[in-house]
Amino acid sequence: MNARNCLEVLRKIKDVAFATVDEVGKPQVRIIDVMLVEGERLYFCTSRGKDFYQQLERDGNVAVTALTPEFQMVRLNGRARRLANQKEWIDRIFEENPSMNDVYPGESRYVLEPFVIDCGNVEFFDLGVTPISRESFPVGGGEVSEKGFVISDACIGCGKCLRGCPQQCIEEGTPFRIMQEHCLHCGRCFEECPVQAILRR
């Protein structure tokens, strides 16, 4: 996998969830079509009358997710920016997604504004394999922030973390090591460690 593949998965699913934050700081989420993907750029559109549009124009922060039929979750976090050349982009979007004409016939399409997400990070989280598998990639000039837990040198090698891990994704060593690519981030090891050697990051 890479960032581009992840965006292509979202395009294939097409109807995906877009989350934003509203004017009072609450989460909002709705299903939006992924209209185009080119390289590490994901394009969508929305109409100027919608709360979603206002929220995008305020700061552009957006989080996107969808699940494949094989239980692979893609999570994209980044910033959406509105594109200049509105008519050109909307025409292209309608050409590649002709069912849009059923909802916005004729000239009414131009109440829509095109947006791109081209900077952020994306995670591919495969729940269809054992152990689960996860991988993160930067999108455009974005950065990946590593999450979850790490075992520090304070580890006494007792093995309690490993015995409790639901995915058995901790390997012995000095210190023991969490296989980050298979970790659920459930925090059980963090809770079980008798010497608080496991750190949340």
**Interacting residues with a copy of itself (CB under 8 A):** 15, 17-21, 25-31, 47-51, 61-67, 71, 73, 75, 77, 102-108, 111-112, 127, 130, 132, 147-149, 164-167, 184-188, 190-191, 200
Q: Residue type at 55? A: Q
Count the Cβ atoms, other than its own, within 10 Å of residue 134: 20
CA separation for the pair 3, 57 (Å, rounded): 25
Run of H or E including 8: helix 3-13
Which residue's CB is nearer to a copy of itself, number 39 or number 129?
129
Which residue's CB is nearer to a copy of itself, number 30 or number 39?
30
- Find out whether 142 and 121 touch, Cβ atoms under 8 Å: yes
CB of 156 to a copy of itself, least distance (A): 21
Which residue's CB is nearer to a copy of itself, number 43 or number 120?
120
Q: Which residues pair with 145 in a beta bridge?
A: none
CB of 65 to a copy of itself, least distance (A): 5
